Amino acid sequence: MKKIMYIFFEKLKIYTINFVIFFLLVEIFLYLISYYDMRYADKETLHGDFTIVVFDDETFYPL
């Protein structure tokens, strides 16, 4: 029984370490993507246009 518990906790330790390493790599990858996007985004243009619409009875007028 002691040997089985030892094997179980050793595997649990390995899985936990892999889990932590995986999420650290994901965090670093997301940081690099956001840094790249921030650095190379065109700062002079808007990212996505939108239109404001005013309704007057049955017609609408875009502003």
Residue 60 has a pLDDT of: 63
Q: What is the pLDDT of residue 32?
A: 92
For residues 2 and 21, which has the higher predicted lDDT (pLDDT)?
Answer: 21
Strands in the chain per DSSP E = 53-56, 59-62
Residue 34 vs residue 6, higher pLDDT: 34
pLDDT in tens, 13-63: 999 999 999 999 999 999 999 888 877 766 666 656 667 777 767 766 665
Q: Which residues contact 62 (CB under 8 A, 6 or more apart)?
A: 51, 52, 53, 54
What b/e readout covers 30-50, taking b as 16+ CB neighbours within 10 angstroms? eeeeeeeeeeeeeeeeeeeee
pLDDT at 46 (0 to 100) = 60
